[in-house]
Structure 1
């Protein structure tokens, strides 16, 4: 009985800290989310995604292909962004979060047009990652100028 009462009144243990692999997957899911949100996963977006994953994580081609496939599956099965953004908040520095937002903008501009849903999801992720509005806008302009 005492053990039962202890369990009721003791605070729950925190979730374990995410691994580097989980952080890579969470970031890849955010990138896939941008590409898929307008229901048109264009070839140009897929190419941009592969290039960003290769550059960002310095992975071999087969590792990038596997990460992309895992990210697509995780994105399709996700019920919300919160699980993935929690992992990113645990593992990424502020600079890495800003870079991720810039990468999301790159995906959004990869097909030559910015969809309102793409902009919405980037804004939402930016808020969940505590990226300032000025950094959000700076990343947008940087990606637009590179497109």
Structure 2
């Protein structure tokens, strides 16, 4: 189902207006997954609670099988390790997501950050940076954070 890793990298660096709907869907799925993975990038490793939260967020957003979710997560981790900025991911989401979908993504990022029961400064910075690039207002950002915190029962 997923394109080769090189094709996906190329789709971010050389977007073509003639992308098929399936290619656009893959680009959006990968961009979403990478941003969720970026939240835990500075941890030594992604623990089970964080992995479960990332997979749950992707499952609720996209109609993918368990195998497809596992491959998407693996690809997102690999892509995240070589990512030098967030712009190439957020620009795709700005083009294809509604404001509500962007807020939901920011909330999902907060859920991932709270999943291991400790909030790291790097996690907060990453989410803040991505929220800005997604044009999520400060009020929407704080509301998403509060909802995620309530869900995490912290």
TM-score (norm 2): 0.82
Deviating 4+ runs (over 2 angstroms): 14-18, 37-40
Q: Is the 8 A contact 1:32 1:75 kept in 2?
A: yes
Deviation track 1:40-70 (CA, whole Å, cap 9, x = no partner) reads 4222101111111111112110010011011
Q: How many residues align?
A: 134
Deviation track 1:106-129 (CA, whole Å, cap 9, x = no partner) reads 000000111111011000000000
Partner of 1:88: 93
Partner of 2:141: 136
| 1:107 is aligned to 2:112 | yes
Partner of 1:125: 130
Deviates more, 1:87-96 or 1:25-34: 87-96
Instruction: Tell me the distance in 2 between the aligned counterparts of 1:142 and 1:28.
Output: 20
Instruction: Tell me the distance in 1 between the aligned counterparts of 2:69 and 2:15.
Output: 27
Structure with higher Rg: it is 1
Partner of 1:56: 61
Q: 1:28 aligns with which of 23, 30, 33?
A: 33
Deviation track 1:73-95 (CA, whole Å, cap 9, x = no partner) reads 11011111111111111111111
**What are the within-5 Å matches in structure 2 for residues 61-72 of structure 1?**
61-72=66-77
Partner of 2:80: 75
Q: Which runs of 5+ in 1 are unaligned?
A: 1-13
Shift of 1:39: 3.3
Q: Which runs of 5+ in 2 are unaligned?
A: 1-13
